[in-house]
Amino acid sequence: MTADDSFDRLDDDDYPAYTMGRAAEMLGATQGFLRAIGEARLITPLRSEGGHRRYSRYQLRIAARARELVDHGTPIEAACRIVILEDQLEEAQRINAEYRRAAESANPTAAA
């Protein structure tokens, strides 16, 4: 992979561009918080060749939502479960909307 390839991947929401220290700083959280949500299986950071945790922008958004819930008094395990369910609901709604659009385009008179 060339330097140009790495630069292009920074636009990818799933590219693990952030170290644990930088991710914690961006979230205003501790590295222990990131470890805890990893242990709760909310996010699974990728590992660098040296074994260091690396986080994507998508994972940071998920972690930020969990931190928001924890900051409002929700236990971390419950916060992680809530975020997982919210993410699953959002995905189901997206898939449902795609099915609806496909059905409407296949049979435009039924939609009217």
Q: In this predicted model, what pLDDT tens digit does every residue of 55-68 receive, in sequence order?
A: 999 999 999 999 99
Average pLDDT over residues 1-9: 56
Whether 112 shows a pLDDT value over 70: the answer reads no
User: Tokens in use for 23?
Assistant: 């991710």
| Whether 62 contacts 43, CB under 8 Å | yes
DSSP-based three-state secondary structure for 17: coil
pTM of the model: 0.77
The chain-wide mean pLDDT, for the chain, equals: 90
Q: With a cut of 70, say whether residue 12 has pLDDT above it.
A: yes
User: pLDDT category, 48, cuts 50, 70, 90?
Assistant: confident
> What's the whole-number mean pLDDT along residues 106-112?
70
Other CB atoms within 10 Å distance of the CB of residue 55: 26
Predicted confidence at residue 8, as pLDDT, reads: 63
Q: For residue 14, what pLDDT is reported?
A: 86
C-alpha angle 43/39/62, rounded to 5°?
Answer: 25
- pLDDT confidence bin for 71, thresholds 50/70/90: very high
